[in-house]
Structure 1
């Protein structure tokens, strides 16, 4: 045991003095010669970090390329993407002559070399990408490790502006156990180069579009230890065409139909039945398209507010129709229109809704008879002869009195009928004016609500 310890100490001191490995000497420019040299000088040291001194940090250069966007799970708050991960590091002291060994690079099995424990901090599932068993070693000692990685990472998704949302998910690359004094993460390609390469090679053309990649070198500070990290921010934009065509446009069509239903005359068409059918159709539409909506998290998506407002407007439109129909068809049960309501609605609100009040019809010259009461009718028709008529004129006078009483009774009934028709006409005009006023308020509220939602969608994307 003591002899082994002494041997290891001597070996470590030798490495510290002469570097991790020496330059390779190839007997011939053949793969066998180069492999034998690597087998002798490099492969036995795969358990040791390839630096001259333990105090020297090893620089790991990293670059990524996004190959595919597999999906975004709003409920699980996860992002699934497929990337190419490129790591580069230098084996200190390793080199060989290209002419003597026959090549400037060679692929060797991954398990023959020391590999850094670089992983992604946001990993939420096992990497199921196909394994890559080889890495490249260049004649200047640079190791090139390029492998595919299927990343299922946690991501804080914001769905408030769905389907016009932009997601910014981070991928934090760094060593799992080595401190920043042992391994230092270095940025490879620039963010612009990685974005261009990713957009050129990306395979998926589905719901999500890659719009930007940002890089942020970072040091994780923990009690007693610091870790070097590289954070990549993958910015994705949802393609909203599917949701606009299947959700927003049909909803706007149904709201437009409900808006134009105010043009239906309630006195000749059952407008309430039409609006009720429209509400039922919209409810069935929302149930069918419910699978397209995201599962809500901390915030309610703005599109859900849009649908709620649309349904609330339809219900309010139905209630308004019931109210107007009750005024117009039940006016015979109401009394005379109150004076204050007559002035407020028929004089002022009629002007606001651009509906001048109708002029009252001229009354016949003999309309003053409606002031004759039933009691006066009996007084007029009493059998109180002023003069004693002749015997042959008595039957004629009795018939005239009966005829007079009948005519006055008919006139009183006609006056009551016209008075009731005039009251009904006034209530009918009140219904028309209120209906037009509520239609205007309905239209203004729709415009304000939809413009506000569109502005929020637009400003949220540019924030």
Structure 2
């Protein structure tokens, strides 16, 4: 009885060993014999996760290579890439002898095997690349699934530094359904190997360049369970040279030409027509180059602000030229400069632009006679030799002149001369006052012209330093 029980236990152990190893027994080293064994022991179990027990997890090794970056859509916030995806896993208990079956590797139809449901979480469009119908199966039970994938994934794009922007887009690989107790994701190669292979194999990248790849293995915890996943962070950099040549340089040239237009005389009408031509040319330039600018989303690119400020400065310089020209030709008809404007421009703004206003002269242009009072009537009473005398402007022509009337005629002549001098003095005061107001208006125009010229220089210097700094930072990050 003991021998029978030992024999039965041995048979059971052999059967369990055979069931666990599932070693294929090929009748001959031919493909027909091998596939007959696979059809019998493997293909019929394509619906079952290839593990020995339900509590065992299936380890999936993932490798990717970035073949190309087709582009990004700033408006839709998406990135389009082409990847080469490799999945590897082992079928528990499957093996065959290379000598008996004639090969160590064979390609089998994909639909004949259980294939893990590894998907990309950020994908927003259907993968339209054709799937290879076969996978490699090794004699050790190792499965090698290699295929290209075209991925349109969501990515939060920041275009504030366009065209010197750097984007960080993630691709998260994991099982769609199975928990980490069923499928565990493992990284097949290091970040350095992925980056090097991607740069070697990259055939097309357009305006984008792959700068860095960061990999993170993590577990996604939800209420229903935990999911094993691998996240690849693709750091891509835009090549800015085409945008610098086509957008920034022409804009800077036009602004520089407008800057040198300040050397033209302000009172010349050629200056205003020249500036109007520049504004027209700059507007046409922006319309033509509008297709090169990204479609703005939540943020506005810095280059758009640069173009807007440039156009605003051109328009302001044209309005300022019209203002100065009007002052030069019509300031004589203007009223006195308002006190607040005189203080703001002639006192404070003149210091900013390093211009000292002319000092006001205390010398008067005419002297007032305190002893003279203009007569409003045709007669004036005066005291001559201590006696009051009434003088009349109307002297009869037929009256004979007496010697005593000579002082009276002299006094009348002096009175008429005094009135004429008073009128001349008033006209001169009015003229000099108008001339003084004109000078103040002209000085205000000159100060504003120089102030706008300084703003132009400041804007060009700040823009140049900003663009240079961002460009250097972009190249440093890429290196």
Give the TM-score, by structure 2 length. Answer: 0.76
What is the aligned counterpart of 1:440 among 454, 457, 462? 454
2:115 matched to 1:151?
no
Q: What do residues 284-322 of structure 1 show as CA deviations (whole Å, max 9, x unaligned)?
A: 222222222222222222222222221222222223223
Contact between 1:161 and 1:457, CA under 8 Å: does it hold in 2? no
Report the more deviating stretch, 335-344 or 423-432.
335-344
Counterpart for residue 397 of structure 1: none
Write out aligned runs for 1:371-410 (5 A): none
2:288 matched to 1:288?
yes
Report the more deviating stretch, 195-204 or 39-48.
39-48
2:248 matched to 1:248?
yes
Aligned counterparts of 1:370 and 1:434: Cα–Cα separation in 2:
38
Aligned counterparts of 1:444 and 1:43: Cα–Cα separation in 2:
76
How far did residue 331 of structure 1 move?
Answer: 2.1
Write out aligned runs for 1:92-111 (5 A): 92-111=92-111
Counterpart for residue 83 of structure 2: 83
Q: What do residues 160-185 of structure 1 show as CA deviations (whole Å, max 9, x unaligned)?
A: 22221112221111112211111111
Report the more deviating stretch, 97-106 or 292-301.
97-106
Write out aligned runs for 1:297-376 (5 A): 297-334=297-334, 353=353
> What do you get for the CA RMSD once the two structures are aligned?
4.3
Aligned counterparts of 1:340 and 1:294: Cα–Cα separation in 2:
45
Counterpart for residue 186 of structure 2: 186
Contact between 1:21 and 1:41, CA under 8 Å: does it hold in 2? no
Structure 2 gap segments, 5+ residues each: 1-12, 376-392, 396-400, 405-416
Aligned counterparts of 1:123 and 1:348: Cα–Cα separation in 2:
61
Q: What do residues 161-215 of structure 1 show as CA deviations (whole Å, max 9, x unaligned)?
A: 2221112221111112211111111111111111111111111141111112221
Contact between 1:20 and 1:91, CA under 8 Å: does it hold in 2? no
Aligned counterparts of 1:192 and 1:128: Cα–Cα separation in 2:
29
Counterpart for residue 206 of structure 1: 206
How far did residue 462 of structure 1 move?
Answer: 5.7
Contact between 1:19 and 1:52, CA under 8 Å: does it hold in 2? no
Aligned counterparts of 1:133 and 1:342: Cα–Cα separation in 2:
85
Aligned counterparts of 1:43 and 1:368: Cα–Cα separation in 2:
121
Secondary structure class of the residue paired with 1:270: helix
Contact between 1:266 and 1:325, CA under 8 Å: does it hold in 2? yes
Secondary structure class of the residue paired with 1:267: coil
Counterpart for residue 30 of structure 2: 30
Contact between 2:268 and 2:325, CA under 8 Å: does it hold in 1? no
2:221 matched to 1:221?
yes
Aligned counterparts of 1:81 and 1:322: Cα–Cα separation in 2:
54
Aligned counterparts of 1:348 and 1:115: Cα–Cα separation in 2:
79
Counterpart for residue 69 of structure 2: 69
Counterpart for residue 10 of structure 1: none
How far did residue 328 of structure 1 move?
Answer: 2.1
Q: What do residues 85-130 of structure 1 show as CA deviations (whole Å, max 9, x unaligned)?
A: 1000011122222233332211111122111111112222221112
Contact between 1:55 and 1:182, CA under 8 Å: does it hold in 2? yes
2:150 matched to 1:140?
no
Cα distance 1:239–1:341, how it changes in 2: closer, same or farther (>3 A)? closer
Give the TM-score, by structure 1 length. Answer: 0.78
How far did residue 369 of structure 1 move?
Answer: 11
